[in-house]
Structure 1
Amino acid sequence: MASKDIATHRAGAEIYHGATLCKQKARELLDKFRLPETLMPFNDLIELGFNPTTGFMWMKQQKPTKYRVKDTGVSSYASELTGFLEDRRMRKLTGIKSKDMMIWMTISDVSIDRGDPNKIIFTTSMGLWKSFPVTAFENEPEEVK
């Protein structure tokens, strides 16, 4: 499904290749939309695309990975990640799961709380949500082997 969405939004998109350039551009994109620059791991990206007309963003990495962010738990990232960027929000996400109480939950939305910009909210596809302080994303996530 992610590959099909990527193909749909490729026309008119800014596309970058190579780990160093993709990491730099991904951080710039998140910063532009006022999201924490270390919200997601960017170490093994092979392609990053962003369509400024639709707001669609995608990332391709070498292999699926798991990372731990201080005080938030473990998250799993598929080899293809997609979503739509808006001011302080990523919506319709695909390829991201978070483990909570031994259950993997698909993350579909990440947003900065409008009422309290020091909180970031993660919402599942089932409507469940959890908030964390934005400061939890100040440091690089660590890979879980």
Structure 2
Amino acid sequence: MSLITDEIRSSASEMYRGDAICQEKSRFLLTEMGLPNGLLPLKDMEECGYVKETGFVWLIQKKKSEHKFEKIGRPVQYAREVTAYVEPKRIKKLTGVKTKELLMWVSLSDIYLDDPPTGKITFKTPTGLSRSFPVEAFQLEEEPPAVKEEVKVNAAAVEVKEV
């Protein structure tokens, strides 16, 4: 069952379809909120949207995926649909994201940067347990200009098709 209703879609400040544009826009939003741009490495995204008034964000991928953050050695699972409320340096009410802790998968509900800045990012579960890691572990290196240009061209083509 999807949390994204037609009412939410109609109230969206921004909504995009297609992997290339969704990848670019999700990274841009994370950066704009002061969060690491590699925090949500979803694959084959179909749709993403943002309701600016409430901070509600959704990301929909073709199927659930798993990613291992090599710098901290942690696997993370992303459901087909990931939702959250974003604000500067914080993600709240996160759904669709689990991390492996010892031998079990644990849902994440909040992600935030320390204030004042310490270089750490904290992940919190619905039960209140939390763990902090270095922010750099979730930051993507800058893409080469050729890749960026290809994404822009593909994104422009998707935007033209939607109009």
Q: TM-score, normalised by structure 1?
A: 0.90
Aligned length: 138
Give the equivalent residue in structure 2 for 1:44: 44
Offset of 1:42 from its aligned partner? 3.3
Give runs of ≥4 in structure 1 deviating > 3 Å. none
Give the equivalent residue in structure 1 for 2:15: 15
Give the equivalent residue in structure 1 for 2:32: 32
Q: % of aligned pairs identical? A: 40
Give the equivalent residue in structure 2 for 1:116: 117
Letter in 2 for 1:111: Y
Contact 2:42–2:78 at 8 Å: present in 1 too?
no
Give the equivalent residue in structure 2 for 1:73: 74
Any idea what SS the aligned residue of 1:99 has? strand
Give the equivalent residue in structure 2 for 1:60: 60
Q: Which has the larger radius of gyration?
A: 2
Contact 1:61–1:80 at 8 Å: present in 2 too?
yes
Any idea what SS the aligned residue of 2:59 has? strand
Any idea what SS the aligned residue of 1:11 has? helix
Offset of 1:52 from its aligned partner? 0.3
Give the equivalent residue in structure 1 for 2:151: none
More strand by share: 1
Change (3 A) 1:10 1:114: same
Separation (CA, whole Å) in 1 of partners of 2:102 and 2:136 = 22
Q: TM-score, normalised by structure 2?
A: 0.80
Offset of 1:103 from its aligned partner? 1.1
How far does the alpha carbon of each residue in 1:113-134 deviate from its partner, in whole angstroms, 9 at most, with x for none? 1133410000001100000000
Separation (CA, whole Å) in 2 of partners of 1:103 and 1:114 = 30
